[in-house]
Amino acid sequence: MENKIKEILLNNSIELFGNQVDEKLIQFQKTRKDVEGDLTLVIFPFVKVLRCSPADAGEKIGSFLADKLDFIASYNVVSGFLNFTISGEYWLSQLSSIDKNEEFGFAEKDSKPTVMVEYSSPNTNKPLHLGHLRNNFLGYSVAEILKANGHKVVKTQIVNDRGIHICKSMLAWERFSPVNENGERETPDNTGIKGDKLVGKYYVEFDKQYNIEAKEIIAKWERNNFDSFSDDVATEVKKLIASKEGKDEDAIKGIDAKIKDIAKNQTSLMNDAKEMLIKWEARDPETYLLWTTMNNWCYAGFDVTYKAMGVDFDKLYYESETFILGRDLVLEGLDKGIFFKKDDGSVWIDLTDEGLDEKLVLRSDGTAVYMTQDLGTAVDRYSDYPDLSGIIYTVGNEQDYHFKVLFLILEKLGYDWAKNCSHLSYGMVELPKGMGRMKSREGTVVDADDLMEDIVDSAKEMTQERGHIDGMSEDEKDKLYNLIGMGGLKYYLLKVDPKKKIVFNPNESIELNGNTGPFIQYTHARIKSLIAKAGELSMFGDVELKLEETEILKHLSQYPSLIADAGKNHSPALLANYTYELVKLYNHFYQSIYILNEENKDLRMMRLVLSRNVAKVINSAMNLLGINVPEKM
RNA sequence: GGGCCAGUAGCUCAGCUGGAUAGAGCACCUCCCUUCUAAGGAGGCGGUCAAAGGUUCGAAUCCUUUCUGGCUCACCA
């Protein structure tokens, strides 16, 4: 419709305006609620060209268009805005064509290039938490939205299964796990604890123990006792302690933090963990066995969580397998002069010309860092999927800088596809003021499993209170509670613009009224119940549309362009808001107009077909968010 | 200190390729179930769009500066 008008204006530009106008001058917007019309053209941009008042310009353009286009039933001009009223026949024909199209809004399947969407990417040393929920829901949804846009999509993750942090939980388990009467240390089997939770318990334990040890070391230093520490350490710490003299509180805090870091690195626990990492890289059999065992506990736990989340992956990558390729790439780049080596043997890239810093890509002992492994993973993926056009990394915005650098390095290494890679950067999920930050090590996280369980419980309570669940089997009821609870949680985390942070208050559990998942699900269930009662639907003859019906049709017509926008912007939030808007329009209609009870059969059928298509789009849009909708609730 | 992001109603958020009187939900106050699911609908209350300049016929939206908050600049990931 917009395109038709635009086309006519452009093609008749000379006749209308005296010379060719720029396409950008043609701006449409929604007609204000209190003004008559369905579509509005902004007249101001043409006023200069036409050299007349906005009112005259609007009149001129309006009459010209109304003459040429029969879907324009009438028009009016109000203070620089030309408002068109679109004919009922046009909207009814829209309804018919939407109704016929089962995949309404979707682009042709596999018509666009393959993209890879990376999301989740957990560390195998702790369970998933609320932040991971946002990540997983976002990544899954963006992948689905891209599919709807015609892309082939590969869902993937990089499992962070190696590194010093993994060794920490391994070491802590080996050292601090109690031994039972059978002489076994704690396992998921003999404790009944979920695997990832058990591993996470020892990650926290490591942190606790080594903080204790670090404190003891600092106390020693403060007594000026530097026995058993290297001269370098002693000199540095002495210098730091001396520098505290005469400084203000904040500065002293900063210096103390530095001293603490040094102390942590001097703990026997940390040294043992480092040693374990070296053993692991050397494939020491005992260390490897422990690593495999504890990782497998984690994976078993993750599987349960992923299943509850309703997300899936096409292909997994493991850091333990890609970091070597990364190291090779760095050494290759070193030969080419892209990287440089410092005296201590560490390898860096100089990005100061790009306004960034120097960045480490390989440690002095030759081991890989985060960046090394990410380089390897990216290249690995392109060799696995040669037709890949780009990778979308769903990772929190705290890593904005990392990805800027990653893409830049890939480009410098000569990979053209680097420019098609993007970072789907999302805001942190924060706890309300005073509740601190979520930190796994400190045990201040909102656990993913617990949260999902809680929300499903509260959905159960609400559904038993007011739902329509008579005649359902226990199994069906449980499915429904789950569907409502998870729908609420997903919608809550996806309706916010990805790049914005979310403040989550665990004490006020998630709202299920208002702009929420269940609100949308409820409307869907209500429509389904209507349709079920109506029996067979037939086509309708010529009818007159009410305002409420036109509003819905206008909104429905925009679904395809919304899917395109959501795809372009990698934003499920756009779809969530669109659906919310649609549901509000429908509820208003439902409340004020008879549907089943309408006596005129054509009208009844038209309203039922309209309802059926609203349900279809609700279902479709919610599915793109990873949310299911019920037939009854 | 450098870089990036955010600041809209008491709270949580839309709106941001410049367009008409800035919109929702929650909370608070009124109404509406002998019409199809009230997890709903209608209405009310509530705003110096962080602040100040600038560009423009027109600025929450663009530019500059300032303030506030977050993240980041690690031989952590």
CA A52 remoteness from chain centre: 49
Burial A602-622 (b: 16+ CB within 10 A, else e): ebbbbbbbbbbbbbbbbbbbb
CA of A499 to C1' of B67 (A): 23
Element spanning A464, H or E: helix A448-466
List pLDDT tens digits, range A295-311: 999 999 999 999 999 99
Residue A378: predicted pLDDT: 96
Average pLDDT in the A26-49 region?
Answer: 88
- Per the structure, the residue whose CA is closest to nucleotide B77 at C1' is A370
Q: How far apart are CA A11 and CA A441, in angstroms?
A: 65
Could you tell me if A378 and A384 are in contact, meaning their C-beta atoms sit under 8 angstroms apart?
A: no
Whole-number Cα distances in Å, A90 to A68, A72, A230, A418, A612: 15, 9, 84, 46, 19
Query: Does residue A253 register a pLDDT over 80?
Result: no
| Nucleotides of B strand lying within 7 Å of any protein CB atom | 2-7, 11-16, 19-21, 24-27, 35-42, 57-58, 70-77
Give the nucleotide with minimal C1' distance to the Cα of A123. Answer: B77
Higher pLDDT pick, A55 / A439:
A55
Average pLDDT in the A572-585 region?
Answer: 96
Nearest to A359 by CA among A413, A424, A406, A425: A406
Give the nucleotide with minimal C1' distance to the Cα of A569. Answer: B17
| pLDDT range class, residue A140, cuts 50, 70, 90 | very high
Give the predicted TM-score (pTM) of the model. Answer: 0.95
CA of A138 to C1' of B4 (A): 21
| pLDDT range class, residue A436, cuts 50, 70, 90 | low
Residue A443: predicted pLDDT: 64
| pLDDT range class, residue A434, cuts 50, 70, 90 | low
| pLDDT range class, residue A367, cuts 50, 70, 90 | confident
The contacts of residue A478 (CB under 8 Å, 6+ apart) are none
Per-chain mean pLDDT for chain A = 91
Give the nucleotide with minimal C1' distance to the Cα of A631. Answer: B37
Query: Does residue A435 register a pLDDT over 90?
Result: no
pLDDT above 90 covers a percentage of chain A that reads 72
CA of A430 to C1' of B55 (A): 38
Question: Which tokens sit at A390?
Answer: 């780009």
CA of A296 to C1' of B37 (A): 47
Place of tokens 């003891």: A216
Higher pLDDT pick, A506 / A220:
A220
Could you tell me if A345 and A334 are in contact, meaning their C-beta atoms sit under 8 angstroms apart?
A: no
DSSP 3-state percent helix, strand, coil across chain A (nearest 5): 60, 10, 30
Query: Does residue A249 register a pLDDT over 80?
Result: no
Q: How far apart are CA A65 and CA A72, in angstroms?
A: 8
- For A356, other C-beta atoms within 10 Å of its C-beta total 14
CA of A580 to C1' of B38 (A): 18
- Candidate CATH numbers 3.90.1010.10, 3.30.1360.70, 3.60.15.10, 3.40.190.10; the one for domain A2-86: 3.30.1360.70
Q: Poorest-confidence range of A172-176, A401-405, A539-543, A599-603? A: A539-543
| pLDDT range class, residue A329, cuts 50, 70, 90 | very high
Residue A350: predicted pLDDT: 93
Which CATH architecture fits A439-624? Orthogonal Bundle (1.10)
Q: How far apart are CA A103 and CA A96, in angstroms?
A: 14
| pLDDT range class, residue A437, cuts 50, 70, 90 | low
Query: Does residue A504 register a pLDDT over 90?
Result: no
Give the nucleotide with minimal C1' distance to the Cα of A32. Answer: B20
Query: Does residue A179 register a pLDDT over 80?
Result: yes
Average pLDDT in the A55-75 region?
Answer: 92
| pLDDT range class, residue A441, cuts 50, 70, 90 | low
Region of residue A566 (phi > 0: left; psi between -120 and 50: alpha; otherwise: beta)? alpha
CA of A564 to C1' of B41 (A): 32
CA of A569 to C1' of B17 (A): 13
- The interaxial angle of helices A268-281 and A249-266, nearest 10 deg, is 50
List pLDDT tens digits, range A528-548: 999 999 988 888 888 999 999
Give the nucleotide with minimal C1' distance to the Cα of A581. Answer: B24
| pLDDT range class, residue A15, cuts 50, 70, 90 | confident
Residue A47: predicted pLDDT: 85
Residue A259: predicted pLDDT: 86
The contacts of residue A442 (CB under 8 Å, 6+ apart) are A204, A207, A436
The contacts of residue A185 (CB under 8 Å, 6+ apart) are A173, A174, A177, A178, A179
Nearest to A31 by CA among A40, A41, A23: A40
List pLDDT tens digits, range A87-135: 999 999 999 999 999 999 999 999 999 999 999 999 999 999 999 999 9
- Per the structure, the residue whose CA is closest to nucleotide B13 at C1' is A496
Q: Is A240 helix (H, G, I), strand (E, B) or coil?
A: helix
Residue A440: predicted pLDDT: 65
Question: Which tokens sit at A494?
Answer: 């996806």
Give the nucleotide with minimal C1' distance to the Cα of A397. Answer: B71
CA of A603 to C1' of B43 (A): 29
CA of A147 to C1' of B74 (A): 39
Give the nucleotide with minimal C1' distance to the Cα of A501. Answer: B6
- Per the structure, the residue whose CA is closest to nucleotide B15 at C1' is A577
Q: How many residues are present in chain A?
A: 633
Residue A50: predicted pLDDT: 82
Query: Does residue A326 register a pLDDT over 70?
Result: yes
Please write down the HEC assignment for all residues of A550-619: HHHHHHHHCHHHHHHHHHHHCCHHHHHHHHHHHHHHHHHHHHHCCCCCCCCHHHHHHHHHHHHHHHHHHH
Higher pLDDT pick, A363 / A296:
A296
| pLDDT range class, residue A563, cuts 50, 70, 90 | very high
Residue A236: predicted pLDDT: 86
Query: Does residue A507 register a pLDDT over 70?
Result: no
CA of A41 to C1' of B54 (A): 29
Higher pLDDT pick, A508 / A213:
A213
Region of residue A145 (phi > 0: left; psi between -120 and 50: alpha; otherwise: beta)? alpha
Domain extent listing, chain A: 2-86, 439-624
- Per the structure, the residue whose CA is closest to nucleotide B40 at C1' is A587
CA of A612 to C1' of B48 (A): 47
Query: Does residue A59 register a pLDDT over 80?
Result: yes
Q: Poorest-confidence range of A32-36, A411-415, A620-624? A: A32-36
Give the nucleotide with minimal C1' distance to the Cα of A571. Answer: B14
List pLDDT tens digits, range A264-292: 888 999 999 989 988 998 899 999 999 99
Give the nucleotide with minimal C1' distance to the Cα of A348. Answer: B75
Rounded to 5°, the CA angle A183-A185-A187 comes to 125
Whole-number Cα distances in Å, A570 to A131, A393, A497, A582, A625: 18, 11, 10, 21, 12
